[in-house]
Amino acid sequence: MNLRRTTTTRRALAAVALTTGLVFSAAACGGDGGKDKAEESPTSATADRNSSPEEAASQTPEDQVLAEVKGENGIALAVTSAKRDEGGFVTVEGTVTNNTGKGWVPVDWRGDEKELTTNGGSIAGAALVDEAGKKKYLILRDTEGRCLCTRFTGGVKNGETAEWYAQFPAPPEGTTEVSFQVGAMPPASIDITEGD
In the predicted model, is pLDDT for residue 28 greater than 70?
A: no
- What is the C-alpha separation between 93 and 71, in angstroms, rounded? 18
Q: What is the mean pLDDT of the chain?
A: 74
**Would you state the CATH architecture of domain 64-194?**
Sandwich (2.60)
- What is the C-alpha separation between 9 and 39, in angstroms, rounded? 31
pTM above 0.85, yes or no: no
In the predicted model, is pLDDT for residue 101 greater than 60?
A: yes
Q: Decide: 196 and 81 in contact? Cβ < 8 Å.
A: no
Q: Are strands 177-181 and 188-191 parallel, antiparallel or unpaired?
A: antiparallel
Q: For the beta carbon of residue 94, count every other beta carbon within 10 angstroms.
A: 24
Higher pLDDT, residue 180 or 34: 180
Over the stretch 121-152, which tens digit does the pLDDT of each residue have?
Answer: 888 889 999 998 899 999 998 888 888 998 88
What are the residue boundaries of the structural domains of the chain, listed by start? 2-61, 64-194
Distance of CA 3 to the CA centre of its chain: 16
